[in-house]
């Protein structure tokens, strides 16, 4: 029993560490053979640069940091078998219901993204909503599988695009 509790305490920390490593790797220090820089001996960042106004970039950065924090919270809630709360966090902080919140400012990041980048972002929001629906059913294994689709979107975008 003590071993199970220890695993549940370590799991969120381990998963968050892995996610942070993936995000850090996407910042230009990739070693994965699928990354844009895998065969780049010059150290040049080969990801596509997406130009946008500084305020828009800050909006997007804030959103991504909030998503990272939400992922950490979701993983912690899954580790404590609180699927209902994890579902609520996913939908209210990352799901479809969170899309377009900067639209009224005229500085929403989506208008500056290439179509494929936008598609990846929409896919992340869709995956978060899908995770929420699965988690609400109480299916822990299904929830972890659905959560992987969320993080796969993050990795795909960070491996492909940069804003500076």
127 vs 7, residue with greater confidence: 127
pLDDT of residue 13: 47
Q: What count of other Cβ atoms lies within 10 Å of the Cβ of residue 164?
A: 10
Supply the DSSP symbol for 112. Answer: G
3-state SS record for 24-82:
HHCCCCCCCCCCCCCCCCCCCCCCEECCCCHHHHHHHHHHHHHHHHHHHHHHHHHHCCC
From the DSSP assignment, how many helices (H) and strands (E) are in the chain?
Answer: 5, 2
Domains of the chain by residue range: 2-162
Q: What is the per-residue pLDDT across 74-91, written as a single tens digit (0 to 9) for each?
A: 999 999 999 999 999 999
Q: Domain 2-162 carries which CATH code?
A: 1.20.120
Q: What is the mean pLDDT of residues 102-124?
A: 86
141 vs 110, residue with greater confidence: 141
Spatial contact of 43 and 35, defined as CB atoms under 8 Å apart: no
The pTM of this model reads: 0.74
Give the helix/strand (H/E) hosting 161. strand 161-162
Q: Could you give phi then psi for residue 60, rounded to 5 degrees?
A: -65, -40
Tell me which of 41-45, 49-53, 72-76, 112-116 is least confident: 41-45
> Whole-angstrom Cα distance, residue 91 to residue 93?
6
pLDDT band at 107 (very low <50, low <70, confident <90, very high): confident
Distance of CA 28 to the CA centre of its chain: 17
Question: Between the CA of residue 72 and those of 13, 41, 140, what are the distances in Å?
Answer: 8, 34, 16
């Amino acid at each position: 029993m003590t071993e199970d509790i220890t695993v549940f305490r370590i799991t969120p920390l381990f998963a968050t560490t892995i996610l942070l490593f993936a995000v850090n790797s996407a910042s230009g220090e990739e070693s994965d053979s699928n990354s844009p820089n895998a065969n780049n001996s010059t150290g040049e960042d080969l990801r596509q640069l997406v130009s946008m106004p500084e305020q828009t970039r800050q909006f997007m950065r804030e959103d991504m940091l909030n998503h990272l924090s939400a992922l950490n919270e979701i993983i912690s809630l899954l580790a404590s078998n609180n699927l209902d709360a994890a579902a609520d966090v996913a939908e209210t902080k990352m799901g479809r219901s969170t899309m377009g919140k900067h639209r009224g400012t005229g500085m929403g990041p989506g208008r500056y993204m290439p179509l494929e980048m936008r598609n990846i972002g929409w896919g992340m929001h869709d995956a978060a909503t899908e995770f929420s629906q699965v988690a609400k059913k109480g299916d822990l294994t299904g929830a972890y599988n659905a959560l992987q689709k969320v993080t796969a979107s993050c990795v795909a975008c960070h491996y492909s695009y940069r804003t500076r």
